[in-house]
Amino acid sequence: MPDRQPARTLLLATHNAGKLRELRRLIGADWALVAPGEAGLDHLRVVESGATYRENAALKARAFADASGLPALADDSGLEVEALAGAPGIRSARYAGAGATAAANRARLLAALEGVPAEGRKARYRALVAVALPRQSRVWCTEGIVTGSIASDERGSEGFGYDPLFELPDGRRMAELTMDEKNRISHRARALQAAAPLLARVLTEPSR
């Protein structure tokens, strides 16, 4: 058999430890995956000034690709609750204020939904994945969605963010899934599955 081609390096443009773990599992072995700290970019923080997930993901991918000289993959994701007109949406990570913990965000969400019956608590997770190459203006984006509802209490110890509150159609919380189970159905998994042909195409391009 011919020797396996060496992996290309892909920078994962996030400082979120939970996202890094998921992305490493989801993307697989075709890339040598690098976290910002491993590329000397612990200091790089991108202001998420976009009005949409797509804009925020693109901002992060572009900034990290240009700063590192490597292909970069970023995502922006959020929780959209029907009864809250789509909130917290792009503010999901800071729903309870700048620098809020995940627990504080969940507490605010429960407070906002107090008194809302189960049938009114429909929700969905949405993720946009963006891929950028250094010194190229174009950014490629793909989307993934998973639907469910917001429970009135927390359950499960896996995952991160709103996972203990996000109830799937089968009654389980996202935080009760194993990593392998989550990686088959999550919004981020679906966005990355849609991005797979793009990543394969980038793999064939000459290294810069």
Question: What's the mean pLDDT in 55-65?
Answer: 95
CA pair distance 201, 208, nearest whole angstrom: 15
Q: Please say if the pLDDT value at position 203 is more than 60.
A: no
Read off the pLDDT band of 5 (50, 70, 90): very low
Query: Per mean pLDDT, which range of 8-22, 119-133, 144-158 is the poorest?
Result: 8-22
pLDDT in tens, 155-168: 999 888 999 999 99
Read off the pLDDT band of 147 (50, 70, 90): very high
CA pair distance 140, 152, nearest whole angstrom: 37
Better-scored residue on pLDDT, 138 or 30: 138
Question: What's the mean pLDDT in 30-39?
Answer: 90
Question: What's the mean pLDDT in 134-159?
Answer: 93
SS (H, E, C) 52-108: CHHHHHHHHHHHHHHHHCCCEEEEEEEEEEHHHCCCEHHHHHHCCCCCCCHHHHHHH
pLDDT in tens, 89-129: 999 999 999 889 999 999 999 999 999 999 999 999 999 99
Question: What's the mean pLDDT in 21-33?
Answer: 83
pTM (two decimals): 0.84
Query: Would you please indicate which residues are annotated as catalytic (active-site) residues?
Result: 76
pLDDT in tens, 35-46: 999 999 999 999
Question: What's the mean pLDDT in 141-166?
Answer: 95
The proportion of the chain whose per-residue pLDDT surpasses 70, expressed as a percent, equals: 93
